[in-house]
Amino acid sequence: MCGICGVCGFEDKSLIKRMNYVIRHRGPDDEGYFVDKDIMLGNRRLSIIDIKNGHQPVFNEDKSIVVVYNGEIYNFKEIKNDLEKRGHRFYTDTDTEVIVHSYEQYGDKFVNLFNGIFAFALWDAKNKKLVLARDRAGIKPLFYSSPDGNALLFGSEIKSVLQYEKIKREIDLESLHYLLNLRFIPKEKTMFKGIKKLLPGHILIYRNNKINVRKYWELRINIQDKPSDYYEKILKKTIESVIKRQMIADVPVAAYLSGGLDSSTIVAFASKFCDNLQTFCMGFGEPTDEFKDAEKIAGLFNTDHKELTVKFDIAKTMPETIWAIDTPKRNMWPYFISKEISKYVKVVLSGMGGDEVFGGYIYRYNFINEVERLRREKISKDEEINKKITEQINKGDIIDDHKLRDLYKIKYLNDNAGVYNLITLNNKLYSDEEYLRKVYGDKLLNQNLPVVKSLFEPYFKQNISFLDQTFLAEFNTKMVDDFLSVEDAASMAHSLESRVPFLDNELIDLCFNMPSNLKVQGDNGKIILKKVMKDILPKETINKKKWGFIPNTLTWYKKEFRDIALQKLPNGVLIKNNLIKKEFVMKILEHKPDEKLNMHYNFIWDLLCFEVWHKLYIENEPYKPKLDIDYLLA
C-alpha cells in the first residue's frame, strides 16, 4: 500500500519531490522516483508484500515499461504463474511487478485481469504513453489535472497535485452545492475546478497531449433466479476464499470488530487463517459503544482483542482531519480510529461494503416499501401536495423535516430517483428549490446549479426492480465518493492499509446476480448472509440492530460547535462571498438546540469545515499547512 504521483509533459525534479513528500504518510517505509525526458513518477511505500525487494518503481525486463502503484492485487500469484509460463522473467515476488508484465502481454486490456484494490501509473517508454487505472469499486483514489493542456499531473491525494503552482486554486461551486446536500462530491468532481478524480473501473491514457478516459468495468445486475440454498453454499465458499486471499501479507493482518454481523463474519473466517488474529473494537465513551458485543465474538474465535476508546476534541482536530482528506468533510471518525489501530498493525480488514452488497440499509428500504404501498393504494401526486409542501417550507427557515416526510413520499410517488434522493440527502430539504432560496446567497443561486436528483437518475432508468435500482445507486455514488474516500484517507493518513473483503471482485459479481428477495424482505435485510452465518455466529449477533459508528450530533453541537460557529461564521468566507445567507445561519444558531433539528446542526458543522478547508487550501500554501484551529478560523 502506497502513495503515487507523477507528471507527464515536462521535467522538474524539485516538483516531483514536493509531490511525493507531501504524501509521505501513505508510505513511510521507502520512496522511489523515475525521471526521464518529459516523464516523472514518484512513489511512497508502505511495505506489506516482499518487504526486502519491493522497492518502486518496478520495471519489465528491458526497463521500457515502468510502474508506480498503490494497493494490493490479491490474485497476483495466479497471474504471475501464467505470465512465467509465457516467458516473462520476474525479479521480485511483489504484486507490483505483475502489472508491467501483464501490460506487456495483453496491452490496454491488462487491467481486466486484476482482482484487488489499486491505483497505478504505468509509463510505456517505447510508445510514449502514460496509463493510469483505478480498481473496479473505487477503493483506492487517483486525482489528475491538465492545467494548460500540455501536461498531465496526477497523485493519490489532491494536495500532491496542488504542488504545481500553475494549477489554480479555484472553488468548484457545483461541488460545494453537492457537498452541502449529500456530504460528498460525486463522480469526477473535486472542490477544485481544475482537478478531477479518475472514476472507479476506468483507465486513462495520456499520449501526444491528449487524455482518453474509458470504462473497463461496470457493475451490472444480471439476476440468476436460483433457490436460496444454492446461493447459500456458493456464498459461504466465496466469503471464505475471499478472506483467505486478502490475508496474504508479510506483516500481521488484523480486523475491526464491532460485534455486528459484517465484522463478526470477517473475524469468523479470518481466524481460520491466523492463529492469533488481532481484533479491535472502537468506542467514544458513550452508551452506544459496542464493547460487550465485540467481546463476545472475540472470545468465541479466541482473538487477541483490544478495546480502544477514541477521545478527541473535534474542533481542535478538525484541521488535521480535513487536511487528511483534502475536502471539507466532517465524518472523519475513521481518522481517529485508524490513528489508534496503527499503533499495533499495518493492515486491517474492514467490513466496508457489506451493506451495499448484501442489502443492509433497512431504514432506506423501509421508506421505499412505504412509497410502493402508497402506489398500490393509488394515492396520486397533484398540485395540492406541492402547495402544502411550499406552505410548510414558507412557515419558517428552521424546519423539522419529519413533518414533511409523508408529503414528500407522495410528491415523489412516481419518481424512483426522487425517492432515493430524498432518503439519501444529508440535509433533507436543502435541495428543494423553494428552500434553497432561504439558504443560498445570490452567488450560489446564480450558478444554474444542477438538480441533485439528476445524479441518481441513470440508476433508476434500468428495467429492474426499484430495490435493485437502489442497490446500483448505493454502490456507485455514496459508497465510493463518501465511505471509501474517507476510509482510504483516514487509514493512509496513519500509514494503515485498510482491506475490504466484501468488495472483492468475485463477491461483487456473485451478490449482484442474486434475486433481491434473498437480501431484503420487509424489515429484514442481509437475509442471505444471516442464513450463511446462522450456525457460525450467535443468534444475537445475527439479529443485532444496525448502529452507525458516529457520535451524537446534538451533543457535539451544544458542547463545541455552536459557540465556535457564533464566533466565526457571521464573518466567514461563505457569508462574506454571498454563498450562504447570514440570516439563515443566525436563525439556526439562535434557536434553542433540539434533536429534531439535527439536519441544521449538520449543516453548521459543514460550514465550519468549509471555512477551515478554505484557509488550508485556498489561502495557504498546502505544502506546509498550519493546523491550528484558532489561526484557521481567525
Mean pLDDT for the stretch of residues 355-366: 91
How many other C-beta atoms lie within 10 A of the C-beta of residue 577? 13
What is the end-to-end Cα distance of the chain in Å, rounded?
37
CA-nearest of 106, 108, 120, 31 to 72 is: 120
- Amino acid found at 555: T
178 phi and psi angles, rounded to 5 deg: -60, -45
- Check: CB of residue 100 under 8 Å from CB of residue 123: no
% of the chain residues with pLDDT over 70: 89
CA distance 472 to 464: 10
Please report the sign of the dihedral spanned by the C-alpha atoms of residue 356, residue 358, residue 362, residue 367: positive
Mean pLDDT for the stretch of residues 36-57: 84
How many other C-beta atoms lie within 10 A of the C-beta of residue 43? 30
**52 or 124: whose pLDDT is higher?**
124
> What string of DSSP letters covers 507-567?
HHHHHTTS-GGGT-BTTB--HHHHHHHTTTS-HHHHTPPP------HHHHIIIIIHHHHHH
pLDDT for residue 418? 85
- Using only C-alpha atoms, the chain has a radius of gyration, in whole angstroms, of 24
pTM: predicted TM-score of the whole model, two decimal places:
0.93
- Summarised one tens digit per residue, pLDDT across range 192-241 is 999 999 999 999 999 999 999 999 999 999 898 899 999 999 999 999 99
In terms of DSSP bridges, do strands 497-499 and 347-349 run parallel, antiparallel, or are they unpaired?
A: parallel
Of the given ranges (266-270, 285-289, 521-525), which has the lowest mean pLDDT? 285-289
Cis peptide before 28 (omega within 30 of 0): no
CA distance 341 to 255: 10
| Residue 263, CB-side half-sphere exposure with 13 Å CA sphere | 25
| Residue 138, CB-side half-sphere exposure with 13 Å CA sphere | 25
Task: Give, in degrees to the nearest 5, the angle at Cα 70 between 65 and 71.
Answer: 115
Task: Give, in degrees to the nearest 5, the angle at Cα 348 between 342 and 352.
Answer: 120
CA distance 468 to 515: 9
Residue numbers annotated as active site: 2
Query: Any idea what DSSP says for residue 171?
Result: B
Question: Who's near 525: CB < 8 A, 6+ residues apart?
Answer: 358, 359, 360, 361, 362, 365, 519
CA distance 540 to 550: 22
Mean pLDDT for the stretch of residues 559-571: 88
Please report the sign of the dihedral spanned by the C-alpha atoms of residue 360, residue 362, residue 364, residue 368: positive
pLDDT for residue 595? 76
- Check: CB of residue 200 under 8 Å from CB of residue 111: no
Q: Is 132 helix (H, G, I), strand (E, B) or coil?
A: strand
Question: And the C-alpha cell for 431?
Answer: 435541495
- Summarised one tens digit per residue, pLDDT across range 50-96 is 667 778 899 999 999 999 999 999 999 999 999 999 999 999 989 99
Residue written as grid cell 518529459: 38
CA distance 308 to 252: 19
- Summarised one tens digit per residue, pLDDT across range 414-447 is 889 988 887 776 555 555 677 788 899 999 999 9
All domains of the chain in start order, with CATH: 2-215 (3.60.20.10), 553-632 (no CATH)
